[in-house]
Structure 1
């Protein structure tokens, strides 16, 4: 009879990928811990659209479980998926509150987006878009994501805050969240310097404990009675509204969902794969088609369950930094999302300030592919630089890709090096121009 370890080895090709079950599972737990905030945040945001928060919690966890499970077994990649930040805010605050449509209308747009992505993925168009991104831009995407998630970490800890005159400024460094983050950063840094396996995970756990003494980890609202109970999803299940699918507003909403999700997912796949040295000899993401199917399936089923667009999470970089290289990392994340359906109060104890140190340090790890960019080849390095800096400056992975690809096409074209431009890049250039005109 085959042992569990032999099954995992055969199913996920662990030895070939230079990893083992312990490393993969630790990476999976780390990724989950850095993105578990979505279980608390998504219900809060979508409740602003009039949706039942407990039901949205169930839809969030279940859609993440299914999509990440598909990523694990179909793509064998260490990426996790869940309803995406940004798109959930557009869903609740723009489509419902500003445009005045029902949340059922918004869910229908998300459902149609998922169907379109299934078709685009099946016809290899999305994979072609991934593969047409030039190698310097792919390396830059990894570095840009590094700055972006580090910025998120500082923001979550209140170390970087908004300011009307300077846009951002330093926050209160003696506040509870800031103290938790700084303490966690020091602890995690020491563990990494000493090459302790699971350093990022231990850093999150230590930060959560420190948060108790700083008033950040909220034990007072730990609801034991809610343990081991699956939330009732019936108020939002299968609540689609097809009455207005041929309106201009539906087209506008649908295009926004499509554009942001397309390039956020592409950016995350390319950037994290580049950091993990998973790109093949041609600079392509292996099994990209299967990975893209995961978010298309997650988005389609998520809309039926009652949640906004499901996308690949940039926090997957935390697991990759811990050594995650295969679908076993994703499987671990999926299992934890499944468990979260029944033990939500336990996972929701982890505050954003406790995961902030991990995001900041992973930001450093994600910068390493920049070494592969020839900074003195300016038709490569200028687009790469714009890709990197525009991600944190616009708070969007997608916008970083837009600036990088547009400048790459223009510089190559205007310096007589058009042969270096992939054919599909011209299509993206026109698409991006159209996006700016519609903005």
Structure 2
């Protein structure tokens, strides 16, 4: 039945290969089960509720990809970066409640869904300069790094003009976190699958056995879904929340487009004209998953770049996604294990993931300062202002002004002017 549905022969694969590919991708992205509830709990969300929502949202998203976008062997789950933006900026700095934040995620998901069904999708993808996309991605990485440094204790307030200073490096939990970070890089270099989750678990075990952290158990009952259908549309539809909704939409839309393009190259889904086959189905699956995720009680669901590992292992159909989804459902019974992991060790994964975001800056057009300047501004504004939306806004405003004053107004996409004007308005009314 599965062989006929996914058409293994046409895609030159088989059941065993697809299962191995699914397990491979899952191992590389399973860290989200621990990091997502940890990060969102910092913004007032219930840890257990988010843990359950993460597993179910990821499973549903993977099943949608498996049976609708069935030629895409991808894994989907709540995305890194946006969860930190919601927890630390939307809820932490701006003071919105989790229900209000989830309302914004829902609205952004619906917006993504609508655009995924129209020609606007292709227009937007082609309108944003590559350097800006790369700079924004790197900025999100540095934003995650700052959060990771704080959680690990590497960075603490200095109490003077230097703002921050090095934390207590003699703290055994900090050292466990540092060891986990180094181990993740070493395992990646040695091409060991699941390096992030292995690093987290090994150094958590060291912390438990040494008595530095409390082990609360491994297998447990399913945690209640505290935030199920608990969202507030009032704030999401207000003018003050417009920038937040736009940021959620923007990051999800372009992160998904970029990830799918990268995955398509690895999977051989790009034709001779450079068009990506069935990208409309993949993006629609992603947008529907974000809407579903917000209803369940978690932030933006997106396609993971780690899907490339499963594709390299031979995955070519939605069967790979089906396997990933099943494995996420099995995670439902490990809620106590998630609460036992020391945040300092979890932080190591954040810092490691930040390096994956930042390394793409090598593709920025460094020889053209008009392209590189706004990209770098986005990259440094996000961690220093503690806001992804500020970084995006400053990047587009500066890019538009540079194009205007260098005589390139007519050759600049209208999308740039629209986003720049909206960004400027957001600063004025903030």
Q: Does the CA-based 8 Å contact 2:156-2:164 persist in structure 1?
A: yes
Q: What is the 5 A alignment of 1:234-383?
A: 237-238=228-229, 250-252=237-239, 254-269=241-256, 272=259, 278=265, 289-294=280-285, 296-305=287-296, 307=297, 309-312=299-302, 316=304, 319=306, 331=322, 333-383=324-374
Q: Deviations over 1:19-44 (max 9, x none)?
A: 97545532322212145232355467
Quote the Cα distance in structure 2 between the aligned partners of 1:163 and 1:303: 37
CA distance 1:123–1:205, change in 2 (3 Å) = same
Does 1:417 find its partner at 2:408?
Answer: yes
Does 1:139 find its partner at 2:137?
Answer: no
CA distance 1:361–1:38, change in 2 (3 Å) = closer
Match of 2:186 in 1: 190
Quote the Cα distance in structure 1 between the aligned partners of 2:248 and 2:30: 21
Quote the Cα distance in structure 2 between the aligned partners of 1:123 and 1:384: 28
Shift in Å, 1:344: 1.8
TM-score after normalising by structure 2 = 0.76
Does 1:393 find its partner at 2:384?
Answer: yes
1:170 to 166, 171, 177: 166
Quote the Cα distance in structure 2 between the aligned partners of 1:148 and 1:236: 26
Match of 1:230 in 2: 222
Q: Does the CA-based 8 Å contact 2:293-2:300 persist in structure 1?
A: yes
Q: Deviations over 1:262-290 (max 9, x none)?
A: 12313533565687685979999876654
Shift in Å, 1:435: 1.4
CA distance 1:291–1:160, change in 2 (3 Å) = farther
Match of 1:118 in 2: 113
CA distance 1:42–1:144, change in 2 (3 Å) = closer
Shift in Å, 1:383: 1.6
Shift in Å, 1:378: 1.1
Q: Deviations over 1:370-404 (max 9, x none)?
A: 33333221111112221222232233444333332
SS in 2 for 1:174: coil
Does 1:66 find its partner at 2:60?
Answer: yes
TM-score after normalising by structure 1 = 0.75
Q: Deviations over 1:48-106 (max 9, x none)?
A: xxxx77555544443343234435554536453328343256776688xx67x8x7677
Q: What is the 5 A alignment of 1:26-105?
A: 26-42=24-40, 45-46=43-44, 57-71=51-65, 74=68, 76=72, 78=74, 80-82=76-78, 84-88=83-87
Q: Does the CA-based 8 Å contact 1:180-1:214 persist in structure 2?
A: no
Ranges in structure 2 where 5+ consecutive residues have no aligned partner = none
Q: Does the CA-based 8 Å contact 1:34-1:355 persist in structure 2?
A: no
Quote the Cα distance in structure 2 between the aligned partners of 1:106 and 1:365: 27
CA distance 1:216–1:407, change in 2 (3 Å) = farther
Quote the Cα distance in structure 1 between the aligned partners of 2:172 and 2:7: 42
Quote the Cα distance in structure 1 between the aligned partners of 2:58 and 2:416: 31
Q: Does the CA-based 8 Å contact 1:263-1:401 persist in structure 2?
A: no
SS in 1 for 2:206: helix
SS in 1 for 2:367: coil
CA distance 1:403–1:240, change in 2 (3 Å) = closer
Ranges in structure 1 where 5+ consecutive residues have no aligned partner = none
